[in-house]
Structure 1
Amino acid sequence: MGITARGIGLLVAGVLLLGTGFRFGYPELTVLGAAAGVAVAIAVLTAAWRPRLQVRRQADPDRVARGEPATMTLTLRNTGRLGAASLLAVDRCGDQVVPVPVLRLRPGADTTVRYQVPTARRGVVPVGPLRVTRRDPLGLVVLARTYGDSVPVWVHPRVHPLRAVPTGAGRSLDGQVDAVPHGSITFDSLREYVVGDELRRVHWRTSARVGELMVRENVDTSLPRIVVLLDNRTVAHPQRVRGTAESFESACEAAASVVTAAVREDLPVVLLFVAAPADLAEAGPGHEGQAAHGNGTVQGGPTGPLDRLAAVSLTGEGTLEAAVARLRRERLGDTLVVLTGPGGREDLGHVGALRGAYPSVVVGVFGATEPTPAGTGGLLVVDAADGAAFAAEWDGVRRW
């Protein structure tokens, strides 16, 4: 609660009038001073009345690609019983403030406001909470309260269609791969029969021993696995245009394009960052393929690769050498895609050391004024000005 300049002036005048009236014996001045004090007290009580409001939000959709439209629908309902609520309300939408008209909102009535969420920039746009301001009729006291929660709208990087997807290198059928799909090639385990299973997969010897039908569960150990490493270090993207590192935005678009292409081909894909906070750590194998846009309001952290790409930002922490050491130690796949900026070209020697662990290594460099020298670490390097240029160069690659 805050007293306006008018309220402060009236309160000071009331004190002076009361003091003067009592000091010099002027009852008229005393009455005026008391009236001023009563007016301020009534204003405080009027502004302190807390209206009972119910706030509901619906983003349509709550996940969009950069530049696509997204609409926020805000419904405000007066659940009180005493009287109509005349309020001044604004809704916070990213860096913008959206006015919400709440004039004479009667008990049980509601009002709906729709507005566009800014999606010109990649990121997570927080919408809300609703800020309601009450004033007394004389404008002496103002009180602001918040209603409802904040809802995120995920603005994903643009996805450019890629026709070519790395097929990886073939492995031994007895090799070991995490999260491989079931149903083909190599025996993995036995399980109980369910309706729809093929009878030719029934293991009759085990079925006779346990007294119920048991079927063989097979896995495909030759399926390639793609690893995308996004360099989100500040030193890798030093150039800024109006505070935005366009090379990093292009790298995010390239990462989203590769992830989406892999999901389209039903290939396992892992998205990593050179420096990532705990809430953006890579998802487990069962969640790495979620790349489609969703609808509805979702609260909480990122749920898929594109959400993580929307939330990631540049940081001064982390080193490419440490990320490369982890990739060498864990060997997460057989095709590695490294996406960096002009400042990351000096560290490509570390990436070149991974050629023994990853049969296919592709490096995308964005925003460089000069082409990357040929034969850098023996890597396949794709120089691109933005995400669209990367997609065109990517589809022109003849070897992986």
Structure 2
Amino acid sequence: MGITARGVGLLVAAVVLLGAGFRFAYPEMVLLGAAAAAAVGYAVVVAARRPRLEVTRVADPDRVARGEPASITLTVRNGGRWPVASLVAEDRCGDRAVPVPLLRLRPGRDTTVRYDVPTIRRGVVPVGPLRVVRRDPLGLVALARPYGATVPVWVHPRTHPMSAVPTGAGRSLDGRVDAVPHGSITFDSLREYVVGDELRRVHWRTSARVGELMVRENVDTSLPRIVVLLDNRAAAHPDRVDGVAESFESACEAAASVVTAAHRSDLPVVLLLVVPDDDAGTAEPHGPLDRLAAVRLGAVDDLQPAVNRLRRDRPGDTLVLLTGPGGRADLGAVGALRGAYPSVVVGVLGASEPAPPDAAGLVVVSADGGAGFAAEWDRVRRW
């Protein structure tokens, strides 16, 4: 609760009038002082009364690509038995305040406001809560209260169409590559026994029927798994324009494009970050594009811990590293992963000059932005 400047002046006047009236025995001054004090007390009682407001907020849609339209529909309903008046309300949308008209709201009635969400930048835009300020009719006291929960709007990076996706060494009968290695647990066919085959693979029922030993032939049906490593170190993206690292935004667009292309090709893909996103925000992400919307630059300078984790865990067989101009000096450390990953591709975004295509024995794709990266990616002929 806060008292306005008018309320402060009236309260000071009440104290002075009461003091002077009692001191010099002027009943008129005492009466004026008592009236001023009563007005301030009445203002406190009116402002402290909490209106029963029901707030509903709907994002349409709640997940958009950068630059696409998104809007919020806010409905405020008076759930009390008395009309509400002298209310000033505003809804929070990111860093800006949106005014909501609540001058007089009758019982059971509602008011609806629709406004656009700024999607010019990638990120998670928190919308809400509704801030309602109740004032007394004289404007002496104002009390602000929050209403409704906060709704996040996920602004994903732009995605650019990509026609080629590296498949690494993985093979699948159900995927894009049908030359499958033998020896896994999935049955494929029967063949005649040859010296050296394990007896546990003999199919005895078929052997008894045909009169000779028949062996089960298995295939590896595991799909190639793509690992996208986004370099979100501040040192990898040193250039800033109005506090925004455009090379990092381009790297996020490239990561979103690779992830989307892998999903369209029915290939498993996992998104990893050099700097973990444990403190990305209170909103819970529901997929790699949500993580790309919430990811921020971290203060970690060394890439080696992330390289060690990739070598130890091996979450896939194709590694795609997306970094900025400051990450070109770490290509040697990434090249050491070629023994663990049959295919390693490095994307350098925002570089002033292209990196050598065979740097550290890696496939290097250099581009200014996300669209240029997708175009250069499709020109690669050897993964």
CA distance in 1, matches of 2:357, 2:223: 31
The 1:186/1:25 distance shift into structure 2, 3 A limit, reads farther
Aligned positions of 1:91-130 closer than 5 A: 91-130=91-130
Aligned residue in 2 for 1:224: 224
Aligned residue in 2 for 1:249: 249
The 1:54/1:164 distance shift into structure 2, 3 A limit, reads same
Aligned residue in 2 for 1:265: 265
The 1:132/1:344 distance shift into structure 2, 3 A limit, reads same
Deviation sequence 1:53-95 (CA, Å, 0-9, x none): 0011111100000000001001100000023344110000001
Q: 1:372: Cα distance to partner?
A: 1.5
Aligned residue in 1 for 2:131: 131
CA distance in 2, matches of 1:186, 1:264: 30
Q: 1:371: Cα distance to partner?
A: 1.9
Question: Per the alignment, in what secondary structure is the counterpart of residue 47 of structure 2?
Answer: helix
User: Taking structure 1 as the reference length, what is the TM-score of the superposition?
Assistant: 0.83
Q: 1:137: Cα distance to partner?
A: 1.1
CA distance in 1, matches of 2:146, 2:189: 59
CA distance in 1, matches of 2:141, 2:88: 14
Question: Per the alignment, in what secondary structure is the counterpart of residue 131 of structure 2?
Answer: strand
Q: 1:140: Cα distance to partner?
A: 0.6
Matched, 1:364 2:373: no
Q: 1:325: Cα distance to partner?
A: 0.8
Question: Per the alignment, in what secondary structure is the counterpart of residue 301 of structure 1?
Answer: coil
Deviation sequence 1:223-246 (CA, Å, 0-9, x none): 211000000000000100111000
Q: 1:385: Cα distance to partner?
A: 0.2
Question: Per the alignment, in what secondary structure is the counterpart of residue 59 of structure 1?
Answer: strand
The 1:45/1:184 distance shift into structure 2, 3 A limit, reads farther
Aligned positions of 1:110-259 closer than 5 A: 110-170=110-170, 172-174=181-183, 185=188, 220-259=220-259
CA distance in 2, matches of 1:222, 1:28: 94
Contact 2:160 2:370 in 1 (8 A): yes
Query: Larger C-alpha radius of gyration, 1 or 2?
Result: 2
Aligned residue in 1 for 2:55: 55
CA distance in 2, matches of 1:173, 1:268: 21
Report the residue type matching 1:393 in the other structure.
E
Contact 1:86 1:105 in 2 (8 A): no
CA distance in 2, matches of 1:251, 1:151: 27
CA distance in 1, matches of 2:140, 2:220: 74
The 1:223/1:15 distance shift into structure 2, 3 A limit, reads same
Report the residue type matching 2:19 in the other structure.
G
Report the residue type matching 1:306 in the other structure.
L
Contact 1:226 1:334 in 2 (8 A): yes
Q: 1:167: Cα distance to partner?
A: 2.1
Report the residue type matching 1:224 in the other structure.
P
Contact 1:78 1:85 in 2 (8 A): no
CA distance in 2, matches of 1:336, 1:327: 9
RMSD: 2.2
Contact 2:183 2:219 in 1 (8 A): no
Q: 1:114: Cα distance to partner?
A: 0.4
Q: 1:348: Cα distance to partner?
A: 1.0
Matched, 1:15 2:24: no
Q: 1:221: Cα distance to partner?
A: 3.0
Report the residue type matching 1:350 in the other structure.
A
CA distance in 2, matches of 1:103, 1:174: 75
Aligned residue in 2 for 1:314: 297
Aligned residue in 2 for 1:283: none
Aligned residue in 1 for 2:200: none
Aligned positions of 1:284-303 closer than 5 A: 300-303=283-286
The 1:300/1:399 distance shift into structure 2, 3 A limit, reads same
The 1:173/1:313 distance shift into structure 2, 3 A limit, reads farther
CA distance in 2, matches of 1:136, 1:382: 65
Aligned residue in 1 for 2:73: 73
Unmatched segments (≥5 aa) in structure 2:
172-180, 191-202, 206-217
Runs of 4+ in 1 over 4 A off after TM superposition: 183-187
Aligned residue in 1 for 2:193: none
Aligned positions of 1:272-287 closer than 5 A: 272-278=272-278
Question: Per the alignment, in what secondary structure is the counterpart of residue 278 of structure 1?
Answer: coil
Q: 1:165: Cα distance to partner?
A: 1.1
Question: Per the alignment, in what secondary structure is the counterpart of residue 103 of structure 2?
Answer: strand
Q: 1:138: Cα distance to partner?
A: 1.0
The 1:186/1:63 distance shift into structure 2, 3 A limit, reads farther
Report the residue type matching 2:377 in the other structure.
W
Aligned residue in 2 for 1:46: 46
Aligned residue in 2 for 1:379: 362
Aligned-residue sequence identity (percent) comes to 73
Contact 2:51 2:84 in 1 (8 A): no
The 1:184/1:255 distance shift into structure 2, 3 A limit, reads farther
User: Taking structure 2 as the reference length, what is the TM-score of the superposition?
Assistant: 0.87
Matched, 1:353 2:320: no
Question: Per the alignment, in what secondary structure is the counterpart of residue 29 of structure 2?
Answer: helix
Contact 2:133 2:143 in 1 (8 A): yes
CA distance in 2, matches of 1:375, 1:105: 69
Report the residue type matching 1:125 in the other structure.
V
The 1:186/1:157 distance shift into structure 2, 3 A limit, reads farther
